Structure 1
Amino acid sequence: MIMDSDHLKEAGKQAMRAARKINRLRSLGIVTAGAAVLVAGITAYKKQDSLYRTFVMPAVRLLPAETSHQLALLACKYRVYPRSQYEDNANLQTKFFGRMLKNPIGIAAGFDKNAEAVDGLQDMGFGFVEVGTVTPAAQEGNPKPRVFRLVEDRAIINRYGFNSEGHQAVLQRLRLLRSKEDFNGVVGVNLGRNKETMSPMADYVQGVRVFGPVADYLVINVSSPNTKGLRDMQTKSKLTELLEHVNEARTRLERNKNVPILLKLSPDLSLSDMKDIVSVINRKKSRVDGLIVTNTTVSRDNINASNKTAKEVGGLSGEPLRARSTEMIAQMYVLTDGKIPIIGVGGVASGYDAYEKIEAGASYVQVYTALVYEGPGLVDQIKAELSSLITSLGHANVQDVVGTNAKFYLPKK
Structure 2
Amino acid sequence: MYQLFFRLVFRRLDPERAHHLAFGWIRGAARVPVLRVFAAAVLAPRHRELRTEALGMRMHGPFGLAAGFDKNATGIDGMTMLGFDHVEIGTVTGEPQPGNPPRRLFRLVPDRALINRMGFNNDGSALVAARLAARRPVFRSVVGVNIGKTKAVPESGAVADYVKSTERLARHADYLVVNVSSPNTPGLRDLQATEHLRPLLTAVREAADRTTGPRRVPLLVKIAPDLADEDIDAVADLAVELGLDGIIATNTTIARDGLGLTSPAALTAETGGLSGAPLKERSLAVLRRLYARVGDRLTLIGVGGIENAEDAWQRILAGATLVQGYSAFVYQGPFWARAVHKGLAARLRTSPYATLADAVGAGVRPRDQHRRTTA
Calculate the TM-score normalised by the size of structure 2.
Answer: 0.91
Q: Deviations over 1:46-80 (max 9, x none)?
A: xxxxx122225641121001111111221222127
The residue number in structure 2 matching 1:83 is: 40
Amino acid at match of 1:290: G
The residue number in structure 1 matching 2:129 is: 171
**Whole-angstrom distance in 2 between the partners of 1:387 and 1:152:** 29
Correspondence list, 1:232-243, <5 A? 232-243=190-201
**2:102 alignment partner, SS class:** coil
Unpaired stretches in structure 1, ≥5 consecutive residues:
1-50, 409-413
**2:12 alignment partner, SS class:** coil
The residue number in structure 2 matching 1:261 is: 219
Asked if 1 retains the 8 angstrom alpha-carbon contact of 2:54 and 2:299, the reply is no
Amino acid at match of 1:200: A
Residue number among 328, 340, 343 corresponding to 2:301 in the alignment: 343
**1:252 alignment partner, SS class:** helix
**Whole-angstrom distance in 1 between the partners of 2:55 and 2:263:** 42
**Whole-angstrom distance in 2 between the partners of 1:305 and 1:103:** 34
The residue number in structure 2 matching 1:114 is: 72
- Answer yes or no: is 1:193 the counterpart of 2:149: yes
Q: Which moved more, 1:241-250 or 1:227-236?
A: 241-250
**Whole-angstrom distance in 2 between the partners of 1:69 and 1:154:** 16
**1:291 alignment partner, SS class:** strand
- Answer yes or no: is 1:303 the counterpart of 2:258: no
Asked if 2 retains the 8 angstrom alpha-carbon contact of 1:84 and 1:380, the reply is no
Amino acid at match of 2:363: N
The residue number in structure 1 matching 2:102 is: 144
The residue number in structure 1 matching 2:89 is: 131
Residue number among 95, 101, 106 corresponding to 2:59 in the alignment: 101
The Cα of 1:84 is off from its aligned counterpart by 4.3
**Whole-angstrom distance in 2 between the partners of 1:96 and 1:253:** 22
Structure 1 vs Structure 2: percent identity of aligned residues? 40
**Whole-angstrom distance in 2 between the partners of 1:383 and 1:117:** 21
- Highest RCO, 1 vs 2 (Cα 8 Å, sep ≥ 6): 2
Amino acid at match of 2:97: Q
- Answer yes or no: is 1:392 the counterpart of 2:342: no
- The runs of at least 4 consecutive aligned structure 1 residues that moved more than 4 Å come to none
**Whole-angstrom distance in 2 between the partners of 1:148 and 1:256:** 44
Asked if 1 retains the 8 angstrom alpha-carbon contact of 2:239 and 2:246, the reply is no
The Cα of 1:96 is off from its aligned counterpart by 2.1
The Cα of 1:407 is off from its aligned counterpart by 6.1
Residue number among 202, 205, 208 corresponding to 1:250 in the alignment: 208
Amino acid at match of 1:61: R
The Cα of 1:254 is off from its aligned counterpart by 4.3
Q: Which moved more, 1:133-142 or 1:395-404?
A: 395-404
Q: Which moved more, 1:66-75 or 1:254-263?
A: 254-263
Amino acid at match of 2:337: V
**Whole-angstrom distance in 1 between the partners of 2:13 and 2:75:** 21
Correspondence list, 1:4-83, <5 A? 51-56=1-6, 58-79=8-29, 82-83=39-40
Asked if 2 retains the 8 angstrom alpha-carbon contact of 1:212 and 1:257, the reply is no
Q: Deviations over 1:296-340 (max 9, x none)?
A: 000112212653200000000000001111111000011112321
Unpaired stretches in structure 2, ≥5 consecutive residues:
31-35, 367-375
Which structure is larger by alpha-carbon Rg, 1 or 2?
A: 1
Q: Deviations over 1:355-410 (max 9, x none)?
A: 011101100100100011110101100100011001111322211110000269xx
Amino acid at match of 1:289: D
Asked if 1 retains the 8 angstrom alpha-carbon contact of 2:111 and 2:263, the reply is no
**Whole-angstrom distance in 2 between the partners of 1:118 and 1:90:** 22
**Whole-angstrom distance in 2 between the partners of 1:93 and 1:71:** 32
- Answer yes or no: is 1:184 the counterpart of 2:140: yes
**Whole-angstrom distance in 1 between the partners of 2:94 and 2:8:** 36
The residue number in structure 2 matching 1:17 is: none
Amino acid at match of 1:299: A
Calculate the TM-score normalised by the size of structure 1.
Answer: 0.83
Structure 1 vs Structure 2 CA RMSD: 1.6
Question: How many residues are aligned here?
Answer: 354
Asked if 1 retains the 8 angstrom alpha-carbon contact of 2:117 and 2:184, the reply is yes
Change (3 A) 1:58 1:100: farther
Asked if 2 retains the 8 angstrom alpha-carbon contact of 1:84 and 1:125, the reply is no
The Cα of 1:171 is off from its aligned counterpart by 1.2
The Cα of 1:120 is off from its aligned counterpart by 0.5
The Cα of 1:256 is off from its aligned counterpart by 5.6
